[in-house]
Structure 1
Amino acid sequence: MNGRVIAGRYELSALLGQGGMGQVWIAYDRRLDRRVGVKLLRPDRLAGAPDAEELRHRFARECRVTAQVDHPGLVTVHDAGSDGDDLYLVMQYVEGADLADHLAEHDPYPWPWAVCVAAQLCAVLASVHAVPIVHRDLKPRNVMVKADGTVTVLDLGIASALDTDTTRLTHTGSPIGSPAYMAPEQAMGGTVGPYTDLYALGVLLHELLSGSVPFAGSTALGVLHRHLYEQPVPVRQLRPDVPAELEALVLRLLAKDPEHRPADAQEVYQALAPLLPRAGAGREDGTGAEAAGGLPLPVAPMDPTRPFLLPHAPWPGRAAQPAGAARPAVTAVPVPAAGPDGTPGEAYLLAPPASTPPAPAPLAAAQAASAAPGPVPPGAAPPPPAPGVPVPVPVVPGAAPYPAAATPATGTDPRTPAPAGAPGGPDAPVAVDVAAAVDEVKRLLDHGRITRAVDILGGILPAAAARHGEHSPVVRTLRKQYAATLMDDGQYRRALPELRLLAEEFARDPGPHAARQALQFRFEAAQCLEALGEAAAALEEYRTLLPHFEAAPDDAVRPLEIRRSIGHLLLALGERGAAQETLARLLYDAERVHGAHHAFPAEVRRTLEWLARVR
């Protein structure tokens, strides 16, 4: 027993493994008396790490964004926060085996199984990319195969929480992630996007089909060099029974240029769909009926074809047991392991159930993060509503709010009531109290309840527009707060149209202040495009904006930030020469503005040094 209790609730029991930036523990939730997995992160191991408060803020934001993704293929995160110098994630207990062990136990791995695993991963990736979230570290150790054949993705949000503009590289100078599964743009320290996860999916699929990753080596640098410059061996040369269309899909996923990969996870799923087994192709009664690829129907645990052959069917081993009966558990024994590139890793050996089943342990608790709502302390904001539940908006006491479309457009100060008899006055239904809602939003933001604040702002905007006018100062102020809060909450897809609308409105106003505001909103819109993985569109917008910001005499830092983004986007688009030239010139100017030892030029210098190493 370790004895340490995290956040006064989670008692650490046994160390499952540790890596370069953290540890994974089995723990017990004292409040709910359940086993959980706890991952402790050590951000001090990152090069150029920002101050602790900034990192905790970013970590909390990534946790909130991750918590908004609702998909059965994602592990549930119970809690997240900081305890002393550590950031912690508390995850559900996941029963099964990680995909790396599953592959090791089935050699060769049946190609229909590989197709079914990849199809399930596509469904997960489509959900997370829509947020948008980029996993950045998709690999077999971060995928669990459960007894019913379904897969669960782990570690969502961790890499993105630690990968900032000034922490793209670890303390060793290499990019954050697993070299064997790292896309070329990620290997060069460039901007990542959904296309980065699709490359990792291609590596994973190649490994399932051939038994090995396409690019291996004795060092991380050697592996990354092969990702950049070598072509993968087509899987049919290693295994002729793989369908030609499956081989073609793997090669598309492994394209060096993101523009040559499939457009999204949906397109990958559609390519896999003709190869999936048909639902209801047979029975699980041991009659020997066969499914796709000549495989027996899934009567054993952890058969990935089962969700497609028998969708939503109960797991027979579990259904046959009487209520309250103990069932055998697959337990995990942690052992040291090495990755394909020779770096230390975490592995788990599956132990068969004993005659008296031991207490199950979480397998691979290196999982993604978010804080689940607990009891609300006095004065704190209430938890966000469930999806589909209307968001309550503060109203004038004793009155019911109008529907947004029917709200009277009278008055300019939301605190000033309309006269008696007038629409919205004492003799008429009272409209939403925008001022009270704004006060509530401020209180929520002070308590860190950003997602709840976003819901309230989005709810009052239509009512405020109907009452005060779409282009009124009140609505413009609300829209600015709404866009800023969406950005802070990582909801870039929702923030983008608001920022574009604000940029258009301010561009129509006279005066230099309005013009500068319009440029700022366009800059934030470009940041959204970059975060959404739309590298070409973001690059074009940054290049358009750069001369305007360079002409501003009062801000020498913003042009440097734009040039850094341009360099990273050029790397993402495979234009390595142009990127190196851009970053080299940037380094000179950044040292002149910030000094040679500032975090900004230090990060640019590390990127250039890394690019020289992987040449």
Structure 2
Amino acid sequence: MTVPAGRVVADRYELSTLIGQGGMGQVWTAYDQRLDRRVAVKLLRPDKVAGQEADELRRRFVRECRVTAQVDHPGLVTVHDAGSEGEELFLVMQYVDGVDLAAHLAGRDPYPWQAAVAVAAQLCAVLSAVHAVPIVHRDLKPRNVMVKQDGTVTVLDLGVASVMDTDTTRLTHTGSPIGSPAYMAPEQAMGGAVGPYTDLYALGVLLHELLSGDVPFSGSTALGVLHRHLYEPPLPVRRTRPEVPEALEALVLRLLAKDPQHRPASAQEVYQELAPMLPARGTTTGEPLDPTRPFLRPHAPWPDRARTPAPQPAPAAPAPPADEKADVARAVDEVKRLLGEGRITQAVDILGAILPTAAQQHGEHSPVVRSLRKQYAATLMDDGQYRRALPELRRLADERATEAGRADPQALRFRYDVAQCLEQLGEPAAALAEYRALLPYYENQYVSGDPELAHDVRRRMGHLLLALGDRPAAHDTLARLLIDVERLRGPGHPMAGEVRRTLQWLGQVRG
């Protein structure tokens, strides 16, 4: 099916970037126009399946959307909305910022066994909640597991994506099993009854892959893979990874038992066996996407708000049109429209995506690129993304000061915004230092004198001194400011009233 970017589904969800496609559907990143947030939208075309199967597909989709929405667990992707539009079915879900487990595995060779245990333990918690409904996932595999930036694991596609996945194996037209051959339990392959034990088998396949680097059974055809699931024993992982604990190898082999009765009784039981192998509480490397982190520092905030990290790249956004010469102009027009409609999050993503193209076309230091970067930084601030805005503003301030001098009004304004970001990020000492460096320029009428901005900077300095616990310095700063504001703007000016109330709170003056 051909779906254009920019199409709005259900008068609300604007499709942005195609991130997945199967025989019967597509997965898009999208924007919720009503709440100005990123979401993921799945579109399914039941008419791609003939006859009664299409009706069954619709019924299963609606049923699974409804049941999935009943599961409340932080490790399961949140369903926001579902419905139909014309011939299509759509499902709107939480947008997960991270990488899927397949990509995470590919980036680490070998995958640390401690990380594999941490992933499996988190999956057990999710499966336990899912099985309690009761629901069987039926298609647990690395592509359906996301590792988020803070190391927590999120499970996708709880029974829904299996009907639109390119890996879906349909052996018969009636009662056909759903799942991916490499992760399919024997009873599922034979079209038998599935249950929690079926997901535990898939968990065993996934654990085997994390530990050994490959699934236990592979082949050139789906039937060949399923035959091996049915009749061949898996290779013990310690044959290739002797450092893997014996208890972990034994658990994987039990999970991969052909007979469901020989597998662990529940996901909770698997968790109990994994628990002694989980890393003990302690320090972390600080790296993102570390699945051991939730166990090393349970419930610790992420990211660490006490420090400003290195600049991060902008998130993926809609791919620009093929006509690169028109990209920038179109993007600027689109950003103006979005900002006019209050859709700041989407405008931020488009600006972040178009900047590399604009720099390639016009040059990194061209007026066009400079203007786009100014808009990008300002929009990030409007969206409350101070951590991402900070490095952009610092760069703009340094470049402008180099070109026009440190007293240039625009360079000073960028530095003022830098100080505001630091203030919002809870870094009072750094913000105070920035304001102190700015103040002489705003107070010097022969340079860039601006009494109103100078008063605002002094007020902010007073409040930051309070935040740092220096009450005498805060009182002195604000008391002097009150005198100057009353002299220049009158005692009834709002700033004079605010400063007076702060001084009264300090107990240093009487009202």
Same fold judged by TM-score > 0.5?
yes
Q: 1:24 aligns with which of 24, 27, 42?
A: 27
Q: Alignment partner for residue 314 of structure 1, among 301, 305, 325?
A: 301
Please give the alpha-carbon distance, in whole angstroms, between the structure 1 residues aligned to 2:172 and 2:16.
Answer: 29
Cα contact 1:99–1:140 (8 A) shared by 2: yes
Q: Which residue of 2 aligns with 1:299?
A: 286
Matches within 5 A, 1:212-611: 212-279=214-281, 281=282, 283=283, 297-317=284-304, 320-321=307-308, 328-329=313-314, 331=316, 358=353
> In the aligned structure 2, how far is the partner of 1:32 from the partner of 1:241?
49
Match of 1:572 in 2: none
TM-score by length of 2: 0.58
Match of 1:76 among 54, 75, 78: 78
| 1:39 matched residue in structure 2 | 42
Residues 1:122 and 1:55: Cα distance change in structure 2 (over 3 Å): same
Q: How many residue pairs get matched?
A: 318
Structure 2 unaligned runs (5+)? 320-348, 355-511
Superposed CA deviations along residues 180-202 of structure 1, whole A, max 9, x for unmatched, are 10001111111111111000000
1:482-514 residue CA offsets vs partner (Å, 9 max, x unmatched): xxxxxxxxxxxxxxxxxxxxxxxxxxxxxxxxx
Which residue pairs with 1:205 in the alignment? Answer: 207
Q: Of the two, which has the highest radius of gyration?
A: 2
Question: 1:90: which partner in 2?
Answer: 92
Amino acid at match of 1:16: I
SS across alignment from 2:52: coil
In structure 2, the partner of 1:63 is: 65
2:484 paired residue number: none
SS at match of 1:2: coil
Tell me the SS of whatever aligns to 2:193.
coil
Contact 2:68 2:158 in 1 (8 A): yes
Decide whether the 8 Å contact of 1:59 with 1:162 is kept in 2. Answer: no
Give a deviation string over 1:562-585, Cα, whole Å, max 9, x none. xxxxxxxxxxxxxxxxxxxxxxxx
* CA offset digits 1:205-231 (Å, max 9, x no partner): 000000000001111111111111111
Deviation (angstroms), 1:87: 1.2
* TM-superposition CA deviations, 1:312-370 (whole Å, max 9, x none): 11124555349xx9854554999xxxxxxxxxxxxxxxxxxx9x9559xxxxxxxxxxx
Q: Tell me by how many angstroms 1:63 deviates.
A: 1.4
Confirm or deny that 1:12 pairs with 2:15: yes
CA distance, structure 1, for counterparts of residue 202 and residue 17 of structure 2:
31
Tell me by how many angstroms 1:66 deviates.
0.8
* Residue identity matched to 2:27: V
Q: Structure 1 residues 152 and 51, CA, compared in 2 at 3 Å: closer, same or farther? A: closer
Q: 2: CA distance between counterparts of 1:31 and 1:87?
A: 20
Provide closer, same or farther for how the CA distance between residues 244 and 331 of structure 1 changes in structure 2, counting only shifts above 3 A: farther
- Deviation of the 1:258 alpha carbon: 0.5
1:505-557 superposed Cα distances (whole Å, 9 cap, x missing partner): xxxxxxxxxxxxxxxxxxxxxxxxxxxxxxxxxxxxxxxxxxxxxxxxxxxxx
Distance 1:59 1:77, change over 3 A: same
**Contact kept? 2:39, 2:94, Cα under 8 Å:** yes
Question: The residue matched to 1:81 in structure 2 has which SS?
Answer: strand
Instruction: Verify the 8 A CA contact 1:136 1:159 in the aligned structure 2.
Output: no
Q: Could you state the TM-score of these two structures normalised by the residue count of structure 1?
A: 0.48
User: Partners of 2:211 and 2:143 in 1: how far apart?
Assistant: 16
Note the C-alpha offset of 1:175.
3.2
CA–CA distance in 2 between the matches of 1:190 and 1:236? 32
Contact 2:25 / 2:164 at 8 angstroms: preserved in 1? no
Query: Counterpart in 1 of 2:428?
Result: none
1:285-308 Cα offsets, whole Å, 9 max, x none, are xxxxxxxxxxxx332111111100
After superposition, the Cα gap between the structure-2 partners of 1:160 and 1:18, relative to the gap in structure 1 and judged at 3 Å, is closer
Structure 1 residues 202 and 49: alpha-carbon distance in aligned structure 2, compared to 1, 3 A threshold = farther
The answer to whether the Cα contact below 8 Å between 1:134 and 1:197 also exists between their aligned partners in 2 is yes
CA distance change for structure 1 residues 278 and 61 in 2, over 3 Å: closer, same or farther?
A: same
Contact 2:22 2:164 in 1 (8 A): no
160 and 130 in structure 1: CA distance in 2 versus 1, 3 angstrom threshold: farther
Cα deviations by residue, 1:39-69 (Å, 9 ceiling, x for unpaired): 11233445763464x6544432321211111
Could you tell me how far 1:38 is from its partner in structure 2?
A: 0.8
- Residue 469 of structure 2 is matched in structure 1 by none
CA distance in 2, matches of 1:210, 1:202: 12
- Residue in 2 aligned with 1:155? 157
- In structure 2, C-alpha distance between the alignment counterparts of 1:82 and 1:319, rounded to whole Å: 45
Query: For each residue in 1:4-58, what CA deviation from the matched residue of structure 2 results, as whole angstroms up to 9, or x when unmatched?
Result: 2211211222221211332111212121122211111233445763464x65444
- Partner Cα distance (2:306, 2:259) in 1: 48
Match of 2:371 in 1: none
Q: Which amino acid aligns with 1:97?
A: V
Partner residue, 1:176: 178
8 A Cα contact 1:2 1:12, kept in partner: yes
In 2, Cα distance between the equivalents of 1:263 and 1:332? 44
Structure with the bigger RCO (C-alpha within 8 Å, sep 6+) is 1
1:428-487, Cα deviation, whole Å (9 max, x unpaired) = xxxxxxxxxxxxxxxxxxxxxxxxxxxxxxxxxxxxxxxxxxxxxxxxxxxxxxxxxxxx
Task: Measure, in 2, the Cα distance between the counterparts of 1:234 and 1:104.
Answer: 21
User: Percentage identity across aligned positions?
Assistant: 77
